[in-house]
Amino acid sequence: MRAIGNLVLAAAYRVIRAIGGSDLVDRFYGMKRVAIIGGGLAGLTCAYALKQRGMEAVVFDASPLQGGRARTEHRDGFTVDAGAQYLLDPELFRNTFRLIRDLGLSSDILPIAPHAGQVYKGKIYRYSVASALGLLKFKGLNIADKALLPRMAYLLARYSPQLDFHHPEHGLDFDDETVASFAKRELSQNVLNYVAGPLISTLFFYGSEETSKLLYLLLARHMYNTRISTLQGGIGRVTARLSQETSIVAGGPVATVVADGSSYVIETQRFSNVVVAAPGDAVLGIAGMEELLSGPPLFHFMTTWIRHAYQKAVGFLQSPAVARMSLRTA
């Protein structure tokens, strides 16, 4: 399942500062009305923080159930996280833990062991995913495959200056191929089949053919000896609590964003600003968005971000004359 993204929250907070961060804007933010497209963790967090600053925000969500991949469902007496199900180290996920604290949920954080189960030939094998030794024990790897695994340490050392979990834009050069392509090229097909592929699809919801190697490198760099935790009652308690604080229009995707003078119109409602907190491949499906994002930022957005489903665009449109986007990983 897909992990909660400190990266997404960092982006949401940057957008908030951009909308209302200066002293001049702070004096007038009561006049602002912000539309947020996307009711996942990023969109709901942005709405919550804007409300804390006295700004009105309305979240538009395509799903009747808010939370996106950070949603918890209850089935047949079981609590099931629909996507995100764990938190990495508090220093790594510091924005997420800050949000949990602000929502009064810190006492419900539960530590969990960093172990994964591998199903191989009808049996389940348990390994630590926070140690190199644990990875070497994975079934299905031959001696040659295991000999290639230390190469990952070399690659991480080589790329380390560009791998910053809180500034993923430093690693955009690595957002040029999928995990599947990277693992086959640098390691082996077996490493992809039995280690990289299953870990990515289990932990991050999407498969290795849909996920960028940038995320994989960031994860690999920070997974060693990391602490893992979850929230009692499910990660979805975060987005459920955020939803209680938010005005939400749900049940259908935003079809059109229209720039009208100094404001924007979405479904007959008028807004001073628009925050986009939706999967990258959905953004340009909104009529009017391509025109608002025309120019070099659009080219960069399309070529670098839209290709991989794991990534999310978190940005804002501040003025119809100058459309700006701030992109971060989900």
Per residue in 177-202, pLDDT (tens digit) is 889 999 999 999 999 999 888 888 77
- What rounded mean pLDDT belongs to the chain? 78
**Within its chain, how far is the Cα of 150 from the centroid?**
28
User: What CATH number does the domain containing 132 carry?
Assistant: 1.10.405
Q: Determine, yes or no, domain membership for 81.
A: no
CB 328 within 8 A of CB 10: yes
Q: Determine, yes or no, domain membership for 23.
A: yes
Q: Determine, yes or no, domain membership for 273.
A: yes
CB 61 within 8 A of CB 38: yes
User: What CATH number does the domain containing 284 carry?
Assistant: 3.50.50.60
Q: CB-side exposure of 293: number of CA atoms within 13 Å?
A: 25
Task: Return the closest-CA partner of residue 223 out of 84, 88, 96, 116.
Answer: 88
- Rg over CA atoms, the chain: 20
- pTM for this structure? 0.76
Predicted local confidence at residue 144, as pLDDT: 94
Tell me the average pLDDT across 298-315: 38
Q: Which two tokens stand for residue 156?
A: 């991480």
Same domain for 241 and 178, yes or no, is no
Predicted local confidence at residue 108, as pLDDT: 95
Same domain for 196 and 281, yes or no, is no
Per residue in 118-134, pLDDT (tens digit) is 888 999 988 887 777 78
Domain end point (choices 201, 225, 249): 225
Determine which helix (DSSP H) or strand (DSSP E) holds 218, and give its type and residue range.
Answer: helix 213-223
Q: Which domain holds residue 282?
A: 6-75+235-329
Q: Determine, yes or no, domain membership for 102.
A: no
Confidence at 306, pLDDT banded by 50, 70, 90: very low
Domain end point (choices 225, 253, 282): 225
Buried/exposed 255-285: b ≥16 CB within 10 Å, e otherwise: eebebeeebbbbeeeebbbbbbbbbbebbee
Helix (H, G, I), strand (E, B) or coil at 140: coil
Q: Determine, yes or no, domain membership for 294.
A: yes
Counting the structural domains of the chain, the total is 2
Q: Determine, yes or no, domain membership for 217.
A: yes
- Of the listed ranges 77-91, 152-166, 196-210, the least confidently predicted one is 196-210
Predicted local confidence at residue 137, as pLDDT: 87
Tell me the average pLDDT across 231-260: 90
DSSP 18-70: HHH-SHHHHHHGGG-EEEEE--BHHHHHHHHHHHHTT-EEEEEESSSSTBTTS
Per residue in 44-79, pLDDT (tens digit) is 998 998 998 888 999 999 888 888 888 888 888 888
Confidence at 265, pLDDT banded by 50, 70, 90: very high
Q: Determine, yes or no, domain membership for 82.
A: no
Instruction: Tell me the percentage of the chain whose pLDDT exceeds 90.
Output: 26
